[in-house]
Amino acid sequence: MTALALDGVRIALGDRALVDGLDLTIDAGRCVTLMGPSGCGKSTLLAFVAGFIDPAFEARGRVRVGDDDVTACPPQRRRIGILFQDDLLFPHLTVGGNLAFALHERVRDREERRARVEAALREADLAGFASRHPATLSGGQRARVALMRTLLAEPRALLLDEPFGKLDAPLRDEVRRFVFDHALERALPILLVTHDEADALAAGGPVLRFGAAGPLHG
Amino acid sequence: MRTGRLFAAAPVVTVATFALPIAAGFVGTLAPAFGYLPAIGGHEFSLSPWRELVAWPGFASSVRLTLVTGVAATLISALFAFGFCAWAAGRAWGPRAAAWLAPILATPHSAFAIGLAFVIAPSGWIVRALSPWLTGFDVPPDVATIGDPSGAALVLGMVVKEAPYLVLMTTAALAQVRANEHLAVARSMGYGPTEAWVRVVLPQVWPQVRLPFLAVLAYSLSVVDVALILGPSNPPTLAVLAVRWFGDPDLRLWFPAAAAASLQLVIVAASIGAWIALERMIARAGRRIVEAGRRASTLSTLSSLAAAGVAIIGALAVAAMTGMAIWSVASQWRFPSAWPGAFAFDNWSRRIADIASPAANTIVVAAIATLCALALAVACLEAEERRRRAGPPPALALLYLPLLVPQVAFLFGAQVLLVRAGLDGAVAAVVWAHLIYVLPYLFLSLADPWRALDPRYARTAASLGASEWRVLFAVKLPILVRPVAIACAVAFAVSVGLYLPTLFAGNGLVPTLTTEAVTLSAGADRRIIGAWALMQALVPLAAYLAAVLVPGRRPAR
């Protein structure tokens, strides 16, 4: 069981601190929600954790997954999965191709890979969709494929960057339940960023609020 | 006539402007290739021009040289360009590095080839910099670094120009896909930046880069001016051979020349066909590789090498330009000095009388061709908006034809037609020949910003009572003034650099900076060539600079 931990994180743009002295530990199978208005720096914090932070920001502090300090690692070595507001399925690959792209390379055999992709699709109630193109799927179907894709890469932690923001209200509940059920079933620590109170409620864990007034403290 | 109908006619007029003459040019080249050209005594169809061509002693070497240099230049340019873009994607200042390559685009191929010859020749800058302290040379070494039989210098000359072109075309296409976000997703799944770029971004931008890539392939296989300056002369590439025979005082050589020009067309068409077949195979293999999910690879080393290659290209380009500038003001520059012994700034004042008239021709032809192309392109884009069905009319795809067919294959036939019409050597004929090449580039450059303009500006103006003309001139063009200026600068630069169309349509009577510089490069004093090539490079650069300085108008948000 691995936990995701942030130690003494400070993120500043020029002399304006967005996050200051943040310490946070998210245990396996738990979800912490970060809330705040847009532009407050919550997505920047996720980018810092994932390893994509824009060099314009000045960032300090450490990111650990279990006992593994990944602060100095490039994104591809961190094994931290991320879901964005858009599903970002690769339009040049089929649904199955998208999933196979993510599936860990340890699975070498082609038949076995195909079986794993099929199994992931069944889990998402999309059996038989492997040869479809992402553009032919509905919004909810695409969101489910995007989550399965992230999970197939076997991440050790999951970051959710307002992943339900663009879905219609009824669909949002369904996708939200799907994401939390599957991620928590795998006992992943989850860091969720949102400005929707309902997301925080569904996540069920502690909520940290970014204020408009000052930087986020731990 | 109502404006609507006027614009509706624009695509037809545009395509007719060059599609018909090109088609006529093809016929005019094909007929003599099969022995028919009554004006010089060919009254019957026969295969004897082809027999003559094939029997020419250097024929097989010439065809091989054409294929090898054309394909090598294209593939090396593409590898450098894509490697560089993959490398730049992972770096904050990568996109800015690409912007530095833009001036290379403005400089004509032949000016670069001439400057490059100064740098890499046995008596050039590189050898001078190393002599005599390292090499021990007191006289230039007797090795062929230019015009070598393998065509390596020709390939280098093309890569210096085409790799930056493909970098900028790829960078422009990147803006239309969500490259950075897709890269972030792939990297969070364990792919390194280069691996991610090749698997996720390249396949998405390729549909937009395919046309520029094929244009590079067609151009590299059939280039004349660069091959004259840097390529081997005996046997030369097929296109050079055809031009040489067309220019021979012995008119009977026109028949094998027409056959060579027709074969050139076959070679380009077959190469494009072969690539499209190969592309399908690559796509299928690529999909299998992507689905195998392998993360580790050596691609990142390759992309760093490609980035280094592009840096060397940039350095060579700067050295070529600087070398020309220094030669143009040198009075004494003996081997192996790396710097002239004495300067003579009156070189220029003595030469200005010779340069003035070709420079004026260059500017007048380029300006008229650019304005005509602008009018046609804007009219076509307006017509597009008025069409009921979405998208450009399919016939407009013909616009890109000139980028894919070898110039020599139809220019000869076109010249024969012009001679018959008594138009050869007229400025109008040269402008028309330039328009064929200027229009596609201007259209390519202008179409995306034009189509991206928020239609509500025009609707707002129209609902305020503005006529269609007023909407165009008082609303759209002023908002789009910057992309229009840049498209015009691109078009102007293309026109300045054209060699073969100027030569053929002008029949040698309308000398421009480019035709004169290429002619002089064969043997004139470097101090003279330097001045010409520098002027040739500066005129389009000045147009670029002017376009960049046009104040942009940002729509309010």
Query: Is residue B553 over pLDDT 60?
Result: no
pLDDT digits (tens, 9 = 90+) for A84-131: 989 999 999 999 999 999 998 888 899 999 999 999 999 999 999 999
Q: Are B197 and B290 in contact (CB under 8 A)?
A: no
Chain B CB contacts of A116 below 8 Å: none
Phi, psi of A131 (to 5 degrees): -90, 0
- Whether chain A has a CB inside 8 Å of the CB on B94: the answer is no
Query: Is residue B161 over pLDDT 90?
Result: yes
**Encoding tokens for residue A141?**
């179907």
Distance CA B8, CA B4 (A): 6
Question: What ipTM does this complex have?
Answer: 0.88
- Structure pTM? 0.91
Q: Do B1-35+346-557 and B57-344 show the same overall fold? A: yes
Query: Is residue B554 over pLDDT 70?
Result: no
Query: Is residue B18 over pLDDT 80?
Result: no
Q: Which fold has domain B1-35+346-557?
A: MetI-like fold (1.10.3720)
More confident residue, B353 or B64: B64
**A79 and B190: CB-CB below 8 Å?**
yes
**A105 and B192: CB-CB below 8 Å?**
no
Chain B CB contacts of A110 below 8 Å: 292
pLDDT digits (tens, 9 = 90+) for B164-187: 999 999 988 888 888 889 999 999
In B344-365, which positions are buried (b, 16+ CB within 10 angstroms) versus exposed (e)? eeebeeebeeebeebbebbbeb
Name the closest residue on chain A to residue B196, using Cα atoms: A76
Give domain limits for chain A. Answer: 1-72+189-218
**Where is average pLDDT lowest: A63-72, A166-175, B1-10, B251-260?**
B1-10
Distance CA B377, CA B380 (A): 5
- Whether chain B has a CB inside 8 Å of the CB on A79: the answer is yes
**B196 and A107: CB-CB below 8 Å?**
no
**How many degrees, rounded to 5, is the angle at CA A111 between CA A108 and CA A117?**
85
Distance CA B222, CA B216 (A): 10
- Residue type, position B520, single letter: L
Could you tell me which CATH class the domain B57-344 is placed in?
A: mainly alpha
Phi, psi of B342 (to 5 degrees): -150, 150
**Encoding tokens for residue B296?**
């580790």
Closest partner CB to A88 (pick from B178, B187, B287): B178
pLDDT digits (tens, 9 = 90+) for B400-458: 888 999 999 989 888 888 888 888 778 999 999 999 999 999 998 999 889 888 888 88
How distant is the Cα of B24 from the closest Cα of chain A, in angstroms?
A: 41
- Whether chain B has a CB inside 8 Å of the CB on A18: the answer is no
pLDDT (mean) for A148-175: 91
How distant is the Cα of B311 from the closest Cα of chain A, in angstroms?
A: 23
Closest partner CB to A50 (pick from B92, B188, B293): B188
Q: What is the DSSP letter of B425?
A: T
Nearest CA to B509 out of B409, B410, B416, B423 is that of B423
HSE at residue B291, side-chain half, CA atoms within 13 A, is 23
The string of DSSP codes covering B38-104 is: GGGTB-S--SHHHHHHHHSTTHHHHHHHHHHHHHHHHHHHHHHHHHHHHHHHTSTTHHHHHHTTHHH
pLDDT digits (tens, 9 = 90+) for B464-515: 888 888 999 999 999 999 999 999 999 999 999 999 999 999 988 899 999 9
How distant is the Cα of A198 from the closest Cα of chain B, in angstroms?
A: 26
**B189 and A110: CB-CB below 8 Å?**
no
A111: burial class by Cβ within 10 Å (0-12, 13-18, 19+)? exposed
Q: Are A154 and A162 in contact (CB under 8 A)?
A: no
The pLDDT of residue B556 is: 43
Q: What is the DSSP letter of B508?
A: T
B511: burial class by Cβ within 10 Å (0-12, 13-18, 19+)? middle
Query: Is residue A148 over pLDDT 70?
Result: yes
Distance CA B284, CA B542 (A): 46
Other C-beta atoms closer than 10 Å to the C-beta of B271 total 21
pLDDT (mean) for A41-46: 88
**Encoding tokens for residue A126?**
């999309």
**In sequence order, which residues have a C-beta less than 8 Å from that of residue A77 and are 6 or more positions away?**
A70, B190
pLDDT digits (tens, 9 = 90+) for B345-399: 877 888 888 899 999 999 999 999 999 999 999 998 988 877 766 666 677 778 8
Chain A CB contacts of B185 below 8 Å: 82, 84, 88
- Whether chain A has a CB inside 8 Å of the CB on B295: the answer is yes
Interface of B with A in 345-384 (CB under 8 A): none
Nearest CA to B360 out of B510, B504, B486 is that of B510
pLDDT (mean) for B325-335: 87
Distance CA B460, CA B471 (A): 9
Query: Is residue A7 over pLDDT 90?
Result: yes
**B185 and A75: CB-CB below 8 Å?**
no
Other C-beta atoms closer than 10 Å to the C-beta of B127 total 22
Percent pLDDT > 70 in chain B is 96
Alpha helices in chain A (DSSP H): 42-50, 75-78, 95-102, 110-123, 139-152, 169-185, 197-203
**In sequence order, which residues have a C-beta less than 8 Å from that of residue B3 and are 6 or more positions away?**
B467, B468, B469
**A88 and B293: CB-CB below 8 Å?**
no
More confident residue, B383 or B34: B34
- Residue type, position A12, single letter: A
**Where is average pLDDT lowest: B65-69, B249-253, B553-557?**
B553-557
Best B185, B191, B299 member to test A by mutation, with max A CBs in 10 Å, is B185
Interface of B with A in 485-514 (CB under 8 A): none
Closest partner CB to A52 (pick from B182, B184, B190): B184
Angstrom CA distances, A84 to A147, A218, B223, B452, B475, stand at: 10, 24, 48, 26, 38
Nearest CA to A178 out of A124, A137, A102 is that of A124
HSE at residue B359, side-chain half, CA atoms within 13 A, is 16
Q: Are A80 and A49 in contact (CB under 8 A)?
A: yes
Q: Are B204 and A91 in contact (CB under 8 A)?
A: yes
Using left for φ > 0, alpha for ψ between -120 and 50, and beta otherwise, residue A128 falls in left
The pLDDT of residue A218 is: 53
Helix (H) or strand (E) holding A18: strand A16-26
Query: Is residue B246 over pLDDT 60?
Result: yes
pLDDT winner (highest mean) among A41-45, B181-185, B523-527:
B181-185
More confident residue, B273 or B339: B273
Query: Tokens 């549909």 — which residue?
Result: B207
Distance CA A22, CA A15 (A): 17
Distance CA B293, CA A100 (A): 6
How distant is the Cα of A145 from the closest Cα of chain B, in angstroms?
A: 13
pLDDT (mean) for A128-139: 94
Q: Are B221 and B273 in contact (CB under 8 A)?
A: no
**A76 and B293: CB-CB below 8 Å?**
no
Distance CA A175, CA B99 (A): 43
Query: Is residue B142 over pLDDT 50?
Result: yes
End-to-end, the C-alpha distance of chain B in Å comes to 37
Q: What is the DSSP letter of B394?
A: G
End-to-end, the C-alpha distance of chain A in Å comes to 23
**A76 and B178: CB-CB below 8 Å?**
no
- Relative to beta strand A190-194, strand A31-35 is parallel
Distance CA B230, CA B152 (A): 9
Closest partner CB to B182 (pick from A75, A90, A155): A90
pLDDT digits (tens, 9 = 90+) for A200-213: 888 888 998 876 55
Q: Which CATH architecture describes the domain A1-72+189-218?
A: 3-Layer(aba) Sandwich (3.40)
**In sequence order, which residues have a C-beta less than 8 Å from that of residue A141 and are 6 or more positions away?**
A124, A126, A129
- Whether chain B has a CB inside 8 Å of the CB on A101: the answer is yes
**Where is average pLDDT lowest: A32-36, A105-109, A159-163, B332-336?**
B332-336
**Encoding tokens for residue B32?**
């003599």
Distance CA B172, CA B95 (A): 11
Chain A CB contacts of B191 below 8 Å: 76
How distant is the Cα of A54 from the closest Cα of chain B, in angstroms?
A: 8
Query: Is residue A163 over pLDDT 50?
Result: yes
Distance CA A100, CA A89 (A): 12
The pLDDT of residue B557 is: 37
Q: Are A195 and A37 in contact (CB under 8 A)?
A: yes
Query: Is residue B333 over pLDDT 80?
Result: yes
The pLDDT of residue B75 is: 97
Q: Are B314 and B101 in contact (CB under 8 A)?
A: yes
Q: Are A175 and A124 in contact (CB under 8 A)?
A: no
Cis peptide leading into B141, omega within 30 of 0? Answer: no
pLDDT digits (tens, 9 = 90+) for B66-111: 999 999 999 999 999 999 999 888 676 766 777 778 788 889 999 9
**B192 and A86: CB-CB below 8 Å?**
no
Give domain limits for chain B. Answer: 1-35+346-557, 57-344
Please list the residues that pair with A192 across neighbouring strands: A33, A160
- Relative to beta strand A80-83, strand A157-161 is parallel
Query: Is residue B2 over pLDDT 60?
Result: no
Phi, psi of A140 (to 5 degrees): -65, -40
Confidence of residue B1 (pLDDT cuts 50, 70, 90): very low
